[in-house]
Amino acid sequence: MSKERIKIAPEFRDIMPPEYRDLVDDATWGKEGRGWKDVGTSKELIEEHSLCAGCPESMAFRYILSSLPSPEDTVMVGSTGCTSLVFPHVAVHNIHSLFGNQNAIASGLKRSLAARFPDQGKDVVVLAGDGATVDIGLDSTLQSWFRQEKFTTICFDNELYANTGGQESGLMQKGFVAKMAPIGKQFEKVRLPEIARESGCHYVVNCTVSKPSLVEKVVRNAVLVARELGPTYLQMYTPCILEIGKQSMEGLQEMRDSEKPGLRFAYKEYASPEAKELIAEIAIKEKERKAAAKAALAQSSV
């Protein structure tokens, strides 16, 4: 899609809500090197959201949206959960699927886009919670990986069903007591990153969203690898501060505490040999682009 088509009719510019004017004037679409540093200056990265105050998911959303390599050519597929409250505020094409069938929707969508726009790299990114990804939608999730569908699956792992009051999910840690799981979880947390690797994902990361530059790196890698090679999977800890009894300001610390070495969200990355090669090529190109931009800046200031 060309940004040229996203123009407000001049007659209506003054009556359009300000966020749409800002979107057209200041969006980072088409900007090379866009990233999490654009958060705060670009309205398409959600100026407002409808999540709870201090919710780490809102941070995660912003970092992910700012890190998409081609937002104007990306369609996100959401599912039921807290994420579905945010998508109405997001200026990236998105589809709300039924609870759990997000990877099936994304499969059809990716294939349709590839058929309709064979010369353009259209990206599809699934963004769903752990209930949709691992419990209700596990079948769709796995089958899309088995079929080597070329899109990225991102799971916001808050380790329970937060939106409905705190029921046990497959990604809940063993022994955790939630409001609606009073005896504590009896089983181990499902090891989906390992299952993803064994199911054919080319790039798999397990992390928190405490470090924006890290999130930017893994999202870009995941989308670009999925575009070229096949399925990729990111599992990101976005704790529900309400359901684990934390205050609004404590989300970041909770993530930092959970990513220490040996803990369940310690950074883990897997890349297939082909993905490693591709990521190395991408890194070289990025380095060259930054060097060229730096040189151009130096030249212009002379």
Partner 1 sequence: MKPYRVLPGPEEFLPPSAASMGIRLPDPDQGHIEGRIVPEEEAMERAAQVFLSAKVPTIFPGPLVLWSWNEKAAKKATAIQYLYDVIRESVSSEARPMIIPMADYRPKYPKINPEVEINPNHPNLTIWHNKIDACMFVGVHCHQANLALKIIRGGTDCFTIAMCAQAGHEDANLTFRDATPEKIMNFAGWIKKLKGTV
Q: Which 39-78 residues touch partner 1, going by CB under 8 A?
A: 50
Shortest reach from residue 82's CB to partner 1, in Å = 11
Beta bridge partner(s), residue 270: 204
Size of the site for partner 1 (CB under 8 A): 17
In the set 47, 52, 72, 87, which binds partner 1 (CB under 8 A)?
87
Shortest reach from residue 256's CB to partner 1, in Å = 29
Q: Give the strands of the sheet with 123-129, arranged side by side.
A: 93-96, 74-78, 123-129, 152-157, 232-237, 203-208, 268-271
Nearer of residues 87 and 176 to partner 1, judged by Cβ: 87
Neighbours of 135 (CB within 10 A): 18
Shortest reach from residue 2's CB to partner 1, in Å = 10
Q: Which 3-42 residues touch partner 1, going by CB under 8 A?
A: 5-12, 15-17, 20
Name the residue type at position 197: R
Shortest reach from residue 17's CB to partner 1, in Å = 5
Q: Is 88 in the site for partner 1 (CB under 8 A)?
A: yes
Is-contact 110 136, C-beta < 8 A?
no
Query: Which of the ranges 67-75, 85-93, 116-124, 284-292 carries the binding residues for partner 1, by CB under 8 A?
Result: 85-93
The single residue listed with the structure tokens 């130096």 is 298
Q: Which 103-122 residues touch partner 1, going by CB under 8 A?
A: none
Shortest reach from residue 11's CB to partner 1, in Å = 4
Is-contact 158 130, C-beta < 8 A?
yes
The single residue listed with the structure tokens 């309400």 is 242
For 98, counting Cβ atoms within 10 Å of its Cβ (0-12 exposed, 13-18 middle, 19+ buried), the class is: middle
User: Binding residues for partner 1, per CB under 8 A?
Assistant: 5-12, 15-17, 20, 50, 85, 87-89
